[in-house]
Amino acid sequence: DAGVIQSPRHEVTEMGQEVTLRCKPISGHNSLFWYRQTMMRGLELLIYFNNNVPIDDSGMPEDRFSAKMPNASFSTLKIQPSEPRDSAVYFCASSIVGGGDKAFFGQGTRLTVV
């Protein structure tokens, strides 16, 4: 099993540009989470999906952030326009609804907005 796959691993972009982060969950998992990690705020949940449906997006910072899950094997997190304060490591994780609460994390995308 390849685990949760995220791309790109690193992204450096200029303020104002659009950024798209991608995630492929573990095959058979039907719950997908987007987290953001910074030194100041730790690991924060941005949004999560069950069976491709957004369940809780209360952690999404503002309208500049959006997330989609068009099918069971792919999700995107988009930031438009990006700002320097969005610099962080973004993790995607997946789990099985009703199959225990253990979530598996991808390797993360380190985003730097200059």
Q: Name the residues that contact other proteins, by CB under 8 A.
A: 31, 33, 35, 42-45, 48, 50, 55-56, 91, 93, 95, 97, 100-108
Cβ proximity to other proteins, 81 vs 110, nearer residue: 110
* Structural tokens at position 9: 């691993």
Q: Smallest distance from the beta carbon of 25 to other proteins, in angstroms?
A: 13
Name the DSSP letter for residue 85: G
CA dihedral 98, 67, 106, 86 (to 10 degrees): -130
Q: Smallest distance from the beta carbon of 103 to other proteins, in angstroms?
A: 6
